[in-house]
Amino acid sequence: MPDILWIQNGRIIDPANGRDEPGDLFAVDGKIVAALSDEQRASARVINAEGRIVCPGLVDIHVHLREPGQTHKETIQTGSWAAAAGG
């Protein structure tokens, strides 16, 4: 059985395609698809993204870690783990 995801009501931002608008996003087995059949919609895992942004990815290019000098607060490893856990 395929893994079907339906993200509803999100603000879809896709710079590569010049898209910034509210809408739904569909994925089957981890790949974005244009639409879902009625059968797929009935079995889809639904996420309500109202008030949220749906986009390919964001990168924080400005970070402060406490190494060297203040490793009692944070190390590169613990700071990286915290960032990964936070999404």
Same domain, 42 and 23: yes
Same domain, 80 and 40: no
Report the predicted TM-score, pTM, of the whole model to 2 decimal places. 0.67
Residue 87 has what pLDDT? 64
Question: What is the residue whose two structure tokens read 């109202």?
Answer: 50
Same domain, 14 and 35: yes
The count of structural domains within the chain is 2
Q: What's the average model confidence in pLDDT over 55-65?
A: 83
The CATH number given to whatever domain includes residue 18 is 2.30.40.10
Residue 77 has what pLDDT? 92
Mean pLDDT in the chain? 92
- Name the pLDDT band for 53 (thresholds 50, 70, 90): very high
Same domain, 47 and 7: yes
Question: Residue 75 is part of which domain span?
Answer: 57-87
Same domain, 22 and 47: yes
CA angle 74, 78, 82 (to 5 degrees): 110
CA distance 4 to 27: 6
